[in-house]
A and B are shown apart, each in its own frame.
Chain A
Amino acid sequence: MQYSFKLYVVESALTSIRAIESIVKACEANLPGQYELKIIDVVKEPHLAEEGKVVATPTLVKELPPPKCTIVGDLSDAKNTLATLGFFSRRLKV
């Protein structure tokens, strides 16, 4: 897998459901078969939230490829979609 994402949520929260939907949709559209999305419920696994130093939910972290990138929110902001934020662009190694 070239892309690795972690999504920290509270599974029952509306904001989290929206975020999951948005991300899965965007990933399927842009990176079919090339991504791995790990969904972490902070209430069920708080130690992982502690490890990741996550404060807000939902929080999406792009672990791979570098650089690490973090977005907070349910991605409902039309101006800041994953695409416009360059979440799917590769950084060229210089």
Chain B
Amino acid sequence: MTTQNSQNMEAPVSKIKTGIPGLDSIAEGGVPRGRATLVAGTAGSAKTILATQYLYTGIEEFDEPAVMVTFEETPADIRRNVKSFGWDLEAFEHQGKLAFVDVSPDPGQGFIESGDYDLSALLARIEYAVEKVKAQRVAIDSVGALFSQFTDSGTVRRELFRVAARLKKMGVTALITAERADDYGEIARFGVEEFVADNVIILRNVLEEEKRRRTIEILKFRGGPHQKGEFPFTISEAGVEVLPLSAMQLTQRSSTIRVSSGCKELDEMCGGGFFGDSIILVSGATGTGKTLLVTTFLAEACRNAQKTLVFAFDESREQLLRNAIGWGIDFKSWEEEGLLKIVCEYPEILGLADHLLRMKKEILAFAPTRIAVDSLSAMERVSTGKSFREFVIGLTSFIKERETAGLFTATTSSLMGGTSITEAHISTITDSIILMRYVELMGEMNRGLTVLKMRGSWHDKSIRQYEIDGEGMHIGRPFHNVGGILAGQPTQIIMGEQEKMLEMFEK
């Protein structure tokens, strides 16, 4: 019985690595081998770049020769356009590893249609090119342009079916690009998906709140698993890079080593300090001392000759240096020693996916043991909920993978109490949360700090008063008999004699 079943089941289709960063991860191995995959996208969604990158990387990294069939752009244009990524296609052509089949329309030379025809010449040319360079990868870009060259779309569709069948017979793994009219509509124009129905990837370039957000979605891979849903990608100076967020597995080891925050009392409140590979969120209104905590955190590492990297989105480098000097901390000398690196950027200049990519590159290049981001809220202001959450997940998982400690600050909009939107997004991702709030008592603005969460460790549950002076932060006693601090309405609780007595005996 069992043998019969296993004979009936189709063996899973094997995959070939595309070599495009992140894509193989969400594709769980790559694209189906020996098959055609449709890449559909609206105008400007990076179809041609992806197709070209697929071929280039195939030759460069896997020594798999390739053929590019272009219906729209001339080979000369394609060669020129990808030079900015550092891809020298001409060199591969000279080496006999890449061949173009130029089916781009000649603006000077039109032709007249009279009677029936088929596209056998196209088929013959493709086959010729594949045999010439012994191609294993083929890209066809883009079928819509072929429909534009001929009036009989029925013939074109039928012939494209022949092309797809021939490609399969030749055993090449093909990417075929097609246009879509809408980012969220039918799969492709001209019903093209009917003949490349098995494997479909969709590229989107959606305008959200004045920013472009590029995503890639593997709609289906017949006979093969893949991650579902949209994933953000960006076009860096090296080409397309996909950011596989949820595809990141939770494989990080958990460190039990504690690192100091730089403030002894805070370490005690946390049960001995932060864990060496944890993500710590510090949330508070403006002026509550978040930057001081960041400064202390960084200084602690530098004093122990450990490298730290800080991303400042709210202040300039000069401001940071000046503030630090005010607390007796000299960032400049550590910068010169190469222990500290300050990266300041306006959040507005890039989309979040691009920011994430740049930050990852900085972290990889500098290899710090501690990272601070001041503040996450600056990023939140310039993005939508979806992209912000993706950014945070992408950054925190990257940091966790490298087992570094990451300190993030978030600004609450209300002065006293309340939560920030940032917290709502990332509170489940963080390991530790520290809240800093103003406490209005008897006509004075005091400050209260509490460790709300400390995953994996005991922590002090009280809300303690703290002060900031020229020497830094001093955390004092807990607020006694005051309730409603986190709600933003601190009130003193006057206990009656009886209750006081009862309390004494309960202990």
Contact = CB atoms under 8 A, between A and B. Distances in A.
Interface in B90-138: 101-103, 106, 109-122, 124-125, 127-129
Nearest to B101: A50
B109 to A, nearest CB: 6
Given A70-B109, A70-B112, A71-B111, A58 B117 contact: yes
A43 interface: yes
A2 B125 CA distance: 30
B120 A72 contact: no
A75 B111 CA distance: 13
A93 to B, nearest CB: 19
Contacts of A71: 111-114
Given A13-B120, A55-B119, A57-B121, A72 B114 contact: yes
A1 B93 CA distance: 38
B120 A57 contact: yes
A46 B112 contact: no
B150 interface: yes
Contact of A10 (B106, B112, B115, B120): B120
A54 B102 CA distance: 10
Given A53-B106, A54-B121, A57-B121, A46 B127 contact: yes
Contact of A50 (B110, B116, B128, B149): B128
Interface in A34-53: 42-43, 46-47, 49-50, 53
B138 to A, nearest CB: 15
Contact of A42 (B115, B120, B129): B120
B128 A76 contact: no
Interface string B125-158: 1011100000000000000000001100000000
Nearest to B131: A46
B121 A56 contact: yes
A55 B103 CA distance: 7
B114 A75 contact: yes
A42 B117 contact: no
- Which of A10, A46, A49 has the most CB atoms of chain B within a 10 A radius of its CB? A46
A56 B162 CA distance: 13
A76 B115 contact: yes
A73 interface: yes
A56 B119 contact: yes
Interface in B71-92: none
Contacts of B119: 55-57
Interface size class of B (residues with CB under 8 A): 20 to 34
Nearest to A41: B124
A61 to B, nearest CB: 9
A15 B115 contact: yes
A18 B114 CA distance: 12
Contacts of B103: 53, 55
A46 to B, nearest CB: 4
Given A47-B128, A53-B106, A73 B114 contact: yes
Contact of B116 (A49, A59, A73, A81): A73
A46 B114 contact: no
B117 A72 contact: yes
Interface in A11-40: 13, 15, 18-19
Interface in A56-84: 56-59, 68, 70-77, 80-81
A56 B163 CA distance: 13
B130 to A, nearest CB: 11
A66 to B, nearest CB: 12
Nearest to A15: B116
B74 to A, nearest CB: 11
A53 B107 CA distance: 13
A68 B108 CA distance: 10
B115 A43 contact: no
Interface of B: 101-103, 106, 109-122, 124-125, 127-129, 149-150
Q: What are the 6 A-B residue pairs with the smallest beta carbon separation, nearest first?
A: A46-B128, A73-B115, A76-B115, A70-B111, A80-B114, A74-B115
24 contacts: A10-B121, A13-B120, A18-B115, A42-B124, A43-B120, A46-B124, A46-B125, A46-B128, A47-B128, A55-B103, A55-B149, A56-B119, A57-B118, A57-B119, A57-B120, A70-B111, A72-B112, A72-B117, A73-B117, A74-B114, A74-B116, A76-B114, A76-B116, A80-B115
Given A49-B124, A75-B115, A80-B113, 15 more contacts: A8-B121, A43-B120, A46-B125, A49-B125, A50-B101, A50-B128, A56-B121, A57-B117, A58-B117, A59-B117, A59-B121, A71-B112, A72-B117, A72-B150, A80-B114
Interface of A: 8, 10, 13, 15, 18-19, 42-43, 46-47, 49-50, 53-59, 68, 70-77, 80-81, 85
